[in-house]
Amino acid sequence: MAASEQIKQLRDKTGISVMACKRALEEAKGDFDKALAFLAERGAQIAEQKSERITKAGIVDAYVHSSKQIGVLLELRSETDFVAKNGEFQALAHDIAMHIAASRPQDIHELMIQPFVKNPEKSVADYLKEAVAKFGENIEVARFSRFNI
């Protein structure tokens, strides 16, 4: 596979910038799986570096199950409103709210360690770390409330 095709495939799979994908493939000497692992490791490092930054923007997302008997309100915070207005950030919030409806965590700590409902191979914390790497900002679940009838 040509290098440009690999970069495109890696970008499509991760959502990370073209230059970061190119660097990862160079570091992995063209090995796609090693490049994925490199990006995951780098994403975790970026998330750790940004974890102390203040999140003063964000959104509140609501999820109501089709039965109308379960609902969730979630406050997902970011550093800037630029990221908060991004469609992918809003989809992230909705996915986490849906996860909360399905998995019933009691608090944020429990939420973070649960396997994510859309991909049980990753925890919710891993999912957030990927978003931090993708958006380049600290992102955090500030609070949530689950309602059940």
> Can you give the pLDDT at residue 49?
64
User: What are the structure tokens assigned to 49, written together?
Assistant: 């570096």
Distance CA 125, CA 109 (A): 9
Distance CA 10, CA 21 (A): 6
List the chain domain ranges. Answer: 3-50, 57-148
Domain 3-50 has CATH 3.30.70.141: no
Along the chain (149 residues), what's the average pLDDT of each consecutive run of 10 residues? Answer: 74 77 82 80 66 85 96 96 95 98 97 95 92 89 96
Distance CA 91, CA 53 (A): 22
User: What are the structure tokens assigned to 13, written together?
Assistant: 């799979």
> Can you give the pLDDT at residue 45?
66
Strand pairing class (139-148; 70-78): antiparallel
> Can you give the pLDDT at residue 115?
97
> Can you give the pLDDT at residue 63?
98
Q: Looking at the DSSP assignment, which residues form a beta bridge with residue 61? A: 74
* Homologous superfamily assigned to 57-148: Elongation factor Ts, dimerisation domain (3.30.479.20)
> Can you give the pLDDT at residue 36?
78
Short-list 130, 118, 114, CA closest to 40: 130
